[in-house]
Homo-oligomer: A and B are copies of this chain.
């Protein structure tokens, strides 16, 4: 078999950094959500881009699939070895290569997690702002074009990756981008690789934009009588040009789950959690103006967290909301939805989704990054119940369709993986064919994470 031949050829290259132990393969065959486990045939632990290149060349010779692996926190089955093959685990390529203080950039290797990166940046006064909640690897975040709570202010991985080193499907090592902040020198290969989910190449180094630690930070929670009122407060705040660093929405069901899990006592109604970054006086001004707007829409029960430990507790709760929601139903697994709509249609999208959930009989709290129009319903199901799974899949499909009908996208930040393939034609039409043409041009044998983003025969 070609996969076996590839593995045999990899042994002399990697020695004990190539594993076929059942526990290793099982660990790489898991996913965070509802997908069945699909382990690879081997796991490789390269130490350098040239080793990654050698691995890919060997796999290319044998037409053996190659799947990149960071922290395994993705939600659409991105790392599952649906056609078998070799998982390339970047745990030995997880360091900061160089911090450029004056340029406010950092070069890192893909396995480093965002929390590790920010720990290592602490003394510089700089930080990397993209924050998907999970302690994902930076390579994985780039590959899924991740974002999270701070995208409304600092953008997504699309906006924060300046340059990449990528091993292509034939083993060539390509450097995209430069150390400059911008360039017009040809096709934007950096942007093409960000969000490609390892289907066009494996990222082996990233140059990231950093931000200065803000002088002033203010965070708050407040309640709203209805979802519409909360969303209107968000859209008004955006329209006023008030630069929010975070603006997160939780519906009443999410708040209940967070209360139970984190021993908190937020009133059980829709909430916004906001944060402002800036100069000390700037933050004060922004916070006051937001308070006025929120009050106009029935916002109440403001709780300002000015001490760092209070803010950390707040965002810790927000980041663990997924686990809180999962814990709210014993033994449940989750289908995590991820639509993103134009802000003008956000209230309608959330409302119709809630109505649909109510009709379904499932429990499915909603939360999201409403400043971007991006929200998630966490569809809780009994993993043994085919009926519930079917109901949840129906809900998920209708959310995607609703998002498209409102001018939105089927995935704001989680990516396509296996879970969103069925909606790609509906979102992109002929554009999906163009993506497939690019895939065929750059990976004609379809060895790079096959079965994700595009569908090729064979």
Residues of A within 8 A of B (CB): 100-105, 144-147, 151, 155-156, 158-159, 168, 172-176, 178-189, 191-192, 194-196, 200, 211-212, 214-215, 235, 238-241, 278-279, 281-282, 285, 338, 340-344, 372-374, 403-404, 406-416, 420, 423-424, 427-435, 437-442, 453-454
Min CB distance A306 to B, Å, is 19
A228 to B136, CA, bound (A): 41
Residues of B within 8 A of A103 (CB): 342-344
Checking B168, B180, B406, B415 against A407 with a beta-carbon cut-off of 8 angstroms, the contacting residue is: B180
Min CB distance A186 to B, Å, is 5
Residues of B within 8 A of A179 (CB): 341-342, 406-408
Min CB distance A21 to B, Å, is 33
Residues of B within 8 A of A147 (CB): 182
Most chain B C-beta atoms within 10 Å of own C-beta, residue among A420, A429, A438: A438
Judge whether B431 and A442 touch: CB under 8 Å. Answer: no
A414 to B441, CA, bound (A): 28
Min CB distance A341 to B, Å, is 6
Judge whether A374 and B182 touch: CB under 8 Å. Answer: yes
Residue of B nearest to A191 (CB): B191
Most chain B C-beta atoms within 10 Å of own C-beta, residue among A155, A344, A403, A409: A409
Residue of B nearest to A435 (CB): B187
Residue of B nearest to A190 (CB): B191
Judge whether B184 and A145 touch: CB under 8 Å. Answer: yes
Known: A103-B343, A173-B430, A440-B441. A181 touches B373 (CB 8 A): yes
Residues of B within 8 A of A104 (CB): 238-239, 343
In the complex, 19 of the A-B residue pairs with CB atoms within 8 angstroms, ordered by the A residue number, are: A100-B344, A145-B188, A151-B182, A172-B433, A174-B430, A176-B428, A178-B409, A179-B406, A180-B373, A180-B374, A181-B343, A181-B372, A183-B409, A183-B412, A184-B412, A185-B424, A187-B438, A212-B239, A281-B285
Residue of B nearest to A213 (CB): B241
Judge whether B185 and A409 touch: CB under 8 Å. Answer: yes
Judge whether B180 and A454 touch: CB under 8 Å. Answer: no
Known: A182-B372, A212-B239, A438-B187. A342 touches B146 (CB 8 A): no
Min CB distance A136 to B, Å, is 13
Residues of B within 8 A of A191 (CB): 158, 188, 191-192
Residue of B nearest to A125 (CB): B239
A449 to B296, CA, bound (A): 54
Known: A196-B187, A441-B441. A413 touches B182 (CB 8 A): yes
Residues of B within 8 A of A372 (CB): 180-182
Min CB distance A177 to B, Å, is 8
Min CB distance A325 to B, Å, is 21
Residues of B within 8 A of A434 (CB): 168, 174, 189, 442
Min CB distance A455 to B, Å, is 11
Judge whether B441 and A184 touch: CB under 8 Å. Answer: no
Checking B178, B235, B453 against A408 with a beta-carbon cut-off of 8 angstroms, the contacting residue is: B178
Residues of B within 8 A of A192 (CB): 187-188, 191-192, 438
Judge whether B430 and A341 touch: CB under 8 Å. Answer: no
Judge whether A441 and B431 touch: CB under 8 Å. Answer: no
Residues of B within 8 A of A404 (CB): 178
A239 to B210, CA, bound (A): 11
Min CB distance A102 to B, Å, is 4
Checking B184, B188, B215, B414 against A184 with a beta-carbon cut-off of 8 angstroms, the contacting residue is: B414
What are the 10 A-B residue pairs with the smallest beta carbon separation, nearest first?
Answer: A191-B191, A179-B407, A441-B441, A183-B409, A102-B344, A212-B241, A179-B342, A180-B340, A145-B184, A184-B415
Residues of B within 8 A of A413 (CB): 182, 184
A18 to B163, CA, bound (A): 43
